[in-house]
Amino acid sequence: MDGELDRLLAEQVAYYRARAGEYDATYPLDSHADTEARAELVARLEGLAPLGRTLELACGTGQWTVELVRLASSVTAVDAAPEALAICRGKVDAHLVEADLFGWRPEARFDFVFFSAWLSHVPEQRFERFWALVADCLVPGGRVFVIDELPAVDAVEHRAPGQPAPAVHREVGGVQRFRAVKVLHDPGRLRQRLAELGWSAEVGTVGWRFFWAEVKRAG
């Protein structure tokens, strides 16, 4: 099963490498319909500033890195897709790291950790391990901010049955087809699961599609 899951995760990386060149044109929060949603999420993020030393996980092409560099004293951004990092590098002055987050370990600790559209790509089997990584990235009293999609998004997904983790089909250029992990979290259940792992989370929703979570170590 681990081998099957590893192959699924490798295909997920391959998808984002192939899609990097068109990602900015197809990113949901940049569509006209979601302009207000993005503005609300940006305002929420700005309300947490100053962010201090900031780490972004799965930064992609820098859709959110451009916001973080305005609000943080420094930004380190990690992603597994070199093609996406190349695009990000053209947008921001930040320390960019090419690495697979399921094998990466931080060399420093940060005041603030951010990730958008990433938690849903973490399979259930790696959920606890991933949040242990997040804890290792934080200084005492550090904060986490998460943006992702709500379960309602499942109505417009193309599920891939019989996978080692909940997954969807993705296409690039109408030709290449990939699988990607897609775990859609209910806000209440996510808050509960994080509490079980020693985190305190405030979770809110934006429209029908997105949620945000402000997370810190309990106590």
CATH assignment of the domain containing 114: 3.40.50.150
Q: What's the Cα-to-Cα distance from 158 to each of 14, 94, 164, 177, rounded to whole Å?
A: 18, 35, 16, 12
Among candidate residues 200, 65, 61, the one with its CA nearest the CA of residue 141: 200
Give the tens place of pLDDT for each residue, 55-92.
999 999 999 999 999 999 999 999 999 999 999 999 99
Give the tens place of pLDDT for each residue, 195-214.
999 999 999 999 999 999 99
Q: What is the rounded distance in angstroms from the CA atom of residue 201 to the CA atom of residue 218?
A: 9
Find how far residue 10's CA is from the centre of its chain.
Answer: 16
Average pLDDT, consecutive stretches of 10 residues, N- to C-terminus, the chain (219 residues): 90 96 74 77 97 98 97 98 98 97 97 98 98 98 98 95 96 90 98 98 96 95
Identify the domain containing residue 185 by its residue range: 2-217
Q: What is the dihedral of CA 142, 113, 185, 4, to 10 degrees?
A: -120
Mean of the per-residue pLDDT values of the chain: 94
What residue ranges in 5-51 does DSSP mark as E strands? Answer: none
Total domains in the chain come to 1
pTM over 0.85: yes
pLDDT at position 163: 97
